[in-house]
């Protein structure tokens, strides 16, 4: 299990000529920490023999801590006389990394402190997520409760499969190394969307009444559906395939107006185009949220029975082939799920998926679409999609479920 990984304590070892304090004192010869060159690039640190004495209190300490004082203070022995001896033993056994410099003056120490605490900047999350596959051999990473690393690892795996699988509508349309390109989404955005939907945790309370189909309860490592990574990827590819098909076959007003404006008359531009809301962070997250939530509730009410899907994997096959076979099996054996998702996507295909930038500001629809910008746009788009499903679907079960999800999420009374 992942534990606390401390960063290095940064120390400076005083040399015999270094002066400190108001009286410019030097460390006495018998209290100096000596550094002896070893073979090659190694060195030996020799501590003063007086260090072992309990009464050791030099007037000038031979080591200065540049950064990490609080970590050292946390490991100090308690001052209370009565305390668990096992605790003392644990403290004595605990090790932390140390980077030690020799003979640094105050100016260099100040510069190091500034560099360590002020200058670092976060790297692109899409690059960070690519580190998780290196940990894939660790069994605990397949769990979902606890630290986010579990769920991020699974979301990362699923994102890579969505990007690489030949059947996936998102093949080669996810930016693995960050950056921006219209019609594509970043790896980090896709992972965040999955963590908010299919691999999210839940506790069954009022604030979190709907969980992720690939997630687990807060206090339980068992996932809702005992599906493998390949089976989960097959399900995601399936729902996006169905949605893409609904978009390509729709004849909605927004679609026709956008096609007139586009240089390319290819209907795929409605899905992937630079002016489509579908291929934005808000679009992919909202779609995966509403599908997860509606299928979750339908599964809980036994309208759907996802657990009955029985796909036997062949471990001798490549991962890509396993996903392909799982996708075919899912379409064949879970026709009621395909039909259920199709009823949802056919309705939301008529939803206006244009970016506000392609609508004249004088048009009232411009302000309506502009509301999806920024962080508040995620919630608003999700709510409006659910309301659209509830109002326009002809299927009474889907209508009822959309209303229930809206109610559970406290969206009913939101103003558009």
- Which string of b and e fits 285-309 if b means at least 16 CB within 10 Å? bbbbbbbbbbbbbbbeeebbebeeb
d(CA 13, CA 2): 32
- Residue 416: pLDDT band (50, 70, 90) is very low
Q: Alpha-carbon distance 385 to 286, whole Å?
A: 8
Q: Which residue has the higher pLDDT, 400 or 210?
A: 400
Question: For residues 30 and 49, what is the distance between their CA atoms, to the nearest angstrom?
Answer: 8
String of DSSP letters for 238-264: HHHHHHHHHHHT---HHHHHHHHHSS-
Q: 111-125, 211-225, 370-384 — which one is most confidently predicted on average?
A: 370-384
Handedness of CA 190, 180, 278, 381 (dihedral sign): positive
Phi, psi of 35, deg, nearest 5:
-115, 120
d(CA 48, CA 215): 55
User: Number of C-alpha atoms within 13 angstroms, CB side, residue 59?
Assistant: 12
The pLDDT of residue 412: 47
User: 194-208, pLDDT tens digit by residue?
Assistant: 999 998 877 666 666
**Beta 63-67 vs 9-13: how paired, if at all?**
antiparallel
> What is the C-alpha to C-alpha distance for residues 111 and 40, in angstroms, rounded to an integer?
29
Beta strands in 60-132 (DSSP E): 63-67, 98-102
Q: Write the pLDDT tens digit of every residue in 322-381.
A: 999 999 999 999 999 999 999 999 999 999 999 998 888 888 889 888 989 887 888 999
Q: Give me the pLDDT at residue 73, please.
A: 83
Contact between 237 and 328 under an 8 Å Cβ cutoff? The reply is: no
Mean pLDDT across the stretch 174-193? 84
State yes or no: pLDDT of 262 exceeds 80.
no
Maximum average pLDDT range among 15-29, 38-52, 85-99, 243-257: 243-257
Percent of the chain with pLDDT over 70: 83
**pLDDT band of 142, cuts 50, 70, 90:** low
3-state secondary structure of 47: coil
Helix (H) or strand (E) holding 349: none
Say if CB 371 and CB 377 are below 8 A apart.
yes
Separation CA 361–CA 54 (nearest Å): 77
Which of 356, 348, 378 is CA-nearest to residue 283? 378
**Mean pLDDT, residues 286-296:** 95
Q: How far is Cα 402 from Cα 237, in angstroms, rounded to an integer?
A: 22
The answer, yes or no, to whether residue 1 has pLDDT greater than 60, is no
Q: Above 90 in pLDDT, residue 246? A: yes
Mean pLDDT for all residues in the chain: 84
Q: When comparing pLDDT for 338 and 4, which is higher?
A: 338
C-alpha closest to that of 278 among 307, 294, 258, 261: 258
Q: What is the pLDDT of residue 198?
A: 93
pLDDT of residue 413: 42
Neighbours of 252 (CB within 10 A): 15
Q: How much is the average pLDDT of 111-135? A: 67
SS3 (DSSP) at 347: helix
Which pLDDT score, from 0 to 100, does residue 115 have? 80
| pLDDT for position 263 | 66
- Phi, psi of 83, deg, nearest 5: -155, 160
Quick check: 81 pLDDT over 80?
no
Q: Tokens standing for 139?
A: 């069994």
Q: CB–CB of 150/140 below 8 Å?
A: yes
Place of tokens 């965040």: 192
pLDDT digits (tens, 9 = 90+) for 221-233: 455 677 888 999 9
Residue that the structure tokens 């580190």 belong to: 131
Question: Who has greater pLDDT, 125 or 155?
Answer: 155
At residue 341, the pLDDT reads: 97
Residue 85 has pLDDT above 80, yes or no: no
**C-alpha span between 299 and 308 (Å, rounded):** 11
Separation of alpha carbons 269 and 288, rounded Å? 20
Q: Decide if pLDDT at 310 tops 90.
A: no
Contact 398, 357 (CB under 8 A): no
| Higher pLDDT pick, 313 / 189 | 189
Is the pLDDT at 105 greater than 80? The verdict is: yes
Structure confidence at residue 69 (pLDDT): 87
Query: Does the pLDDT value for residue 415 go beyond 50?
Result: no
**Band (244; pLDDT cuts 50, 70, 90):** very high
Q: What is the pLDDT of residue 207?
A: 65
Position with higher pLDDT, 200 vs 138: 200
Checking if the pLDDT of 139 tops 70, the result is no
CA-closest candidate to residue 165, choices 318, 289, 285: 318
Question: pTM score, two decimals?
Answer: 0.68
C-beta of residue 211 within 8 angstroms of C-beta of residue 200 = yes
The answer to whether the beta carbons of residues 170 and 240 sit under 8 Å apart is yes
DSSP 8-state secondary structure symbol assigned to residue 202: B
Residue 113 confidence (pLDDT) above 90: no
Which range, of 12-21, 25-34, 71-80, averages the lowest pLDDT? 71-80
pLDDT for the residue 273: 85
Query: What is residue 394's predicted lDDT score, i.e. its pLDDT?
Result: 94
Give the bridge partners for 35, in sequence order: 45
């Amino acid at each position: 299990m992942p534990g606390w990984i401390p960063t290095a304590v940064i120390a400076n070892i005083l040399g015999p000529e270094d002066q400190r304090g108001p009286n410019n004192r030097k460390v006495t010869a018998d209290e100096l920490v000596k550094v002896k060159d070893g073979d090659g690039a190694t060195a030996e640190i020799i501590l003063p023999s007086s260090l072992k004495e309990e009464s050791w209190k030099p007037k000038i300490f031979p080591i200065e801590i540049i950064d990490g004082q609080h970590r050292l203070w946390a490991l100090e022995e308690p001052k209370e006389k009565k305390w668990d001896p096992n605790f003392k033993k644990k403290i004595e056994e605990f090790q932390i990394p140390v980077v030690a410099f020799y003979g640094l003056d105050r100016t260099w120490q100040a510069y190091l402190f500034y560099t360590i605490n002020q200058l670092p900047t976060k790297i692109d999350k899409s690059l960070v997520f690519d580190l998780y596959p290196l940990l894939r051999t660790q069994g605990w990473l397949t769990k979902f409760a606890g630290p986010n690393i579990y769920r991020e690892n699974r979301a990362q795996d699923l994102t890579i499969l969505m990007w690489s699988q030949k059947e996936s509508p998102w093949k080669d349309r996810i930016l693995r190394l960050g950056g921006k390109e219209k019609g594509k989404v970043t790896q980090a955005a896709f992972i965040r969307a999955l963590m908010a939907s299919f691999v999210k945790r839940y506790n069954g309370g009022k604030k979190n009444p709907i969980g992720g189909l690939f997630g687990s309860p807060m206090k339980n490592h068992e996932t809702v559906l005992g599906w493998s990574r390949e089976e989960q990827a097959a399900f995601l590819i399936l729902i996006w395939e169905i949605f893409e098909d609904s978009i390509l076959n729709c004849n909605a007003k927004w679609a026709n107006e956008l096609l007139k404006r586009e240089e390319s008359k290819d209907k795929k531009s409605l899905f992937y185009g630079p002016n489509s809301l579908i291929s934005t962070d808000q679009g992919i997250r909202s779609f995966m949220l509403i599908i997860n939530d509606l299928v979750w509730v339908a599964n809980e009410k036994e309208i759907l029975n996802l657990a009955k899907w029985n796909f036997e994997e062949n471990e001798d096959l490549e991962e890509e082939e396993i996903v392909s076979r799982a996708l075919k099996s899912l379409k064949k054996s879970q026709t009621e799920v395909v039909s259920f998702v199709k009823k949802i996507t056919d309705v939301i295909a008529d939803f206006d998926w244009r970016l506000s930038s392609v609508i004249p500001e004088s048009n009232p629809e411009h302000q309506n679409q502009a509301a999806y910008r920024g962080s508040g746009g995620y919630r608003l788009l999700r709510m409006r999609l659910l309301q659209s499903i509830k109002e326009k679907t002809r299927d009474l079960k889907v209508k009822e479920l959309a209303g229930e999800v809206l109610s559970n999420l406290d969206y009913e009374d939101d103003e558009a």
